[in-house]
């Protein structure tokens, strides 16, 4: 990483280049008057040969700015000379130069000159306040306390703007040294870096008709490309470079829609499947009471461990954040939960509080040192790696469970058809969302903002838990009163995959209610789907037909296991 001195040196070079560019825009630097023409100052400017609309004039200005940033000054001159457009207002450009050079008195004088062109007096006052704040801080750093006090009393205070901030600034005069000042003021110190940041703030209050935002054309092109890519419902690849000369396009066969491997080692229905966080291992749990650990080797999964210490079916699994442990839960008839040490194959601990418990679900805390288990009879426990119940929450009948990505709370769906967040540390809870049908299970995306709910008789619902708003209802998934586990996945968690009672696997884009693909192959209900977080082109599905299918992208256009929409 660069040192703070290196960063400041880099910003100094940036400021010099910015000042040089802005100065050239204002002053004529050659016999042809290039930059005067560019800024509308030259007597040699000619009337445009065509009449341009406002949009067309804006495009000319953007292209001219881009040409100047590339050093193509004569090309910019010809463009602006022929169009008759002025790139930026000369006074605004001079103002920018003064800010970057720290010429505060002249900056204020120039500000008053284009005052009539600002949108509001409030903007003018804000600009003046920010400039004087920078001036005040630089005076303190230069050990000019008297001048700083005069600036504070006679200039800043007289603005009658942001009194609380003025009080904060007054306390900074007592800072013992430069470093203390920078820390207390959250400021980068006198020079290039802080002045450039100041200019970036001021840019938001100056109309673009006066001063173009830096690199505006490049920014608009990037936004257009990003928007075009985001609107693609089948994009599942990280694109590093893309030409501006062609529209974005994706091949549907990049989605993981073709069976690459079928795992048949379980002797009964497979109820749960989960990739490890590193994507190299896969855990499957079955009605045959066994858990099988698989490891990826040359593109294929190989069985490395079979755990059959439990006498009951396995209906839920959760990897610890470091993939060292695996939490194992069973159906309603099971009163305990098991933690398996995957590295040794030994039981790390068991949680067995009461014989009446139903510990059907669980998840790990962010640090991996604790886990939470719960069930529909009202059990809700936080436990350590010794299996000791550290804290409990009474009366919460849990149907679905996820430790929140914030690392502090637990999200739980209960029998009242709602999701609430629970903080075991301070024993507080908060309402998140309310549904009108039972929530059978749910998953949370990596960012923590969205959850997808598997609803009894209603299919899949996507919620924004930050705003507590229902975003979308996905169509197609068939689900009754049995739990089916869906998941987020793909590039940037842009997709949702779910099993279904019609034997299919459905893939949805989060912005579209209809499936983008339906995967055929299983012959009975698909109970659980897991998307490999380390390989966006790999999905695993577990079914009542006793198999686990590994899905990947198609090698050709002729494979017909998938229906595209």
CA separation (Å) from 206 to 65, 99, 209, 318, 433? 17, 13, 8, 53, 42
pLDDT digits over 176-232, tens only?
Answer: 899 999 999 999 999 989 999 999 899 889 888 888 888 899 999 988 888 877 777
pLDDT digits over 495-541, tens only?
Answer: 999 999 999 999 999 999 999 999 999 999 999 999 999 999 999 99
Helix (DSSP H) and strand (DSSP E) numbers for the chain: 12, 29
Rounded Cα distance between 343 and 284, Å, is 16
| CB < 8 Å & 24+ apart, contacts of 325-330 | 325/364, 325/368, 325/385, 326/283, 326/291, 326/293, 327/362, 327/363, 327/364, 327/371, 327/373, 328/285, 328/291, 329/359, 329/360, 329/361, 329/362, 329/373, 330/359, 330/360
Nearest Cα neighbor of 285 from 495, 518, 452, 530 is 530
Nearest Cα neighbor of 184 from 195, 198, 171 is 171
CA angle 402, 405, 406 (to 5 degrees): 120
Global confidence as pTM: 0.73
CATH of domain 316-434: 2.130.10.10
List the chain domain ranges: 4-30+88-214, 254-314+439-565, 316-434
Nearest Cα neighbor of 36 from 88, 72, 83, 71 is 88
Query: Phi/psi at 101 (nearest 5 deg)?
Result: -90, -10
Name the CATH superfamily, with its identifier, for domain 254-314+439-565. YVTN repeat-like/Quinoprotein amine dehydrogenase (2.130.10.10)
pLDDT band at 239 (very low <50, low <70, confident <90, very high): low
pLDDT digits over 45-62, tens only?
Answer: 445 567 888 899 999 999
| Fold match, 254-314+439-565 / 316-434 | yes
pLDDT band at 33 (very low <50, low <70, confident <90, very high): very low
Q: Which two tokens stand for residue 355?
A: 């014989």
The overall average pLDDT reported for the chain is 87
Q: Which two tokens stand for residue 182?
A: 């920078």
Neighbours of 357 (CB within 10 A): 20
For the ranges 84-98, 168-182, 234-248, 344-358, the maximum mean pLDDT occurs at: 168-182
């Amino acid at each position: 990483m660069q040192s703070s001195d290196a960063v400041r040196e880099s910003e100094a070079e940036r400021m010099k280049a910015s000042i040089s560019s802005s100065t050239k825009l204002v002053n004529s630097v050659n016999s042809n008057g290039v930059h005067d023409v560019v800024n509308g100052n030259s007597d040699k400017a000619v009337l445009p040969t065509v009449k341009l609309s406002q949009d067309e004039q804006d495009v000319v200005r953007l292209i001219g700015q881009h040409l100047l940033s590339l050093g193509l000054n004569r090309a910019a001159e010809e463009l602006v000379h022929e169009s008759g457009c002025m790139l930026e207002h000369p006074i605004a450009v001079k103002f920018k130069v003064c800010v970057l050079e720290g010429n505060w008195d002249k900056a204020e004088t120039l500000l008053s000159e284009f005052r009539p062109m600002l949108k509001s007096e409030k903007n003018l006052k804000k600009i003046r306040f920010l400039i004087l704040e920078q001036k005040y801080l630089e005076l303190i750093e230069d050990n000019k306390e008297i001048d700083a006090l005069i600036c504070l009393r006679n200039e800043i205070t007289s603005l009658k703007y942001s009194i609380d901030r003025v009080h904060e600034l007054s306390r900074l005069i007592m800072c013992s040294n430069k470093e203390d000042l920078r820390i207390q003021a959250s400021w980068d110190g006198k020079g290039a870096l802080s002045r450039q940041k100041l200019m970036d703030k001021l840019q938001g209050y100056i109309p673009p008709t006066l001063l173009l935002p830096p690199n505006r054309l490049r920014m608009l092109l990037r936004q257009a490309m990003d928007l075009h890519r985001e609107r693609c419902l089948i994009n599942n690849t990280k694109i590093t470079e893309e030409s501006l000369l062609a529209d974005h396009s994706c091949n549907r066969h990049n989605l993981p829609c073709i069976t690459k491997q079928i795992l048949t080692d379980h002797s009964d229905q497979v109820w749960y499947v989960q990739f490890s966080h590193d994507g190299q291992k896969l855990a499957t749990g079955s009605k045959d009471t066994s858990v099988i650990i698989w490891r990826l080797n040359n593109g294929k999964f190989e069985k490395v461990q079979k755990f059959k210490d439990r006498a009951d079916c396995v209906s839920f699994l959760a990897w610890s954040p470091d993939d060292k442990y695996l939490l194992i839960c069973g159906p309603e008839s099971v009163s305990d939960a098991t933690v398996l040490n995957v590295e040794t194959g030994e039981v790390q601990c068991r949680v067995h509080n009461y014989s009446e418990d139903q510990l059907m679900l669980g998840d790990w805390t962010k640090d991996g040192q604790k886990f939470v288990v719960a069930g529909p009879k009202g059990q809700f426990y936080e436990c350590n790696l010794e299996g000791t119940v550290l804290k409990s929450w009474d009366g919460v009948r849990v149907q679905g469970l996820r430790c929140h990505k914030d690392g502090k709370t637990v999200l739980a769906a209960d029998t009242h058809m709602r999701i609430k967040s629970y903080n075991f540390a301070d024993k507080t809870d908060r309402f998140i969302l309310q549904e009108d049908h039972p929530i059978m299970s749910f998953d949370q995306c990596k960012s923590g903002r969205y959850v997808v709910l598997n609803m009894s008789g209603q299919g899949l619902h996507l919620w924004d838990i930050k705003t507590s708003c229902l975003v979308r209802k996905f169509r197609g998934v068939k689900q009754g009163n049995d739990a089916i586990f869906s998941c987020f996945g793909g590039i940037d968690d842009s997709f949702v995959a779910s099993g279904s009672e019609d034997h299919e696997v459905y893939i949805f884009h989060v912005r579209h209610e209809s499936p983008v693909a339906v995967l055929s192959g299983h012959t009975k209900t698909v109970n659980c789907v897991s998307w490999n977080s380390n390989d966006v082109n790999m999905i695993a599905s577990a079914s009542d037909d006793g198999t686990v299918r590994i899905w990947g992208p198609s090698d050709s256009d002729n494979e017909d296991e998938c229906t595209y929409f």
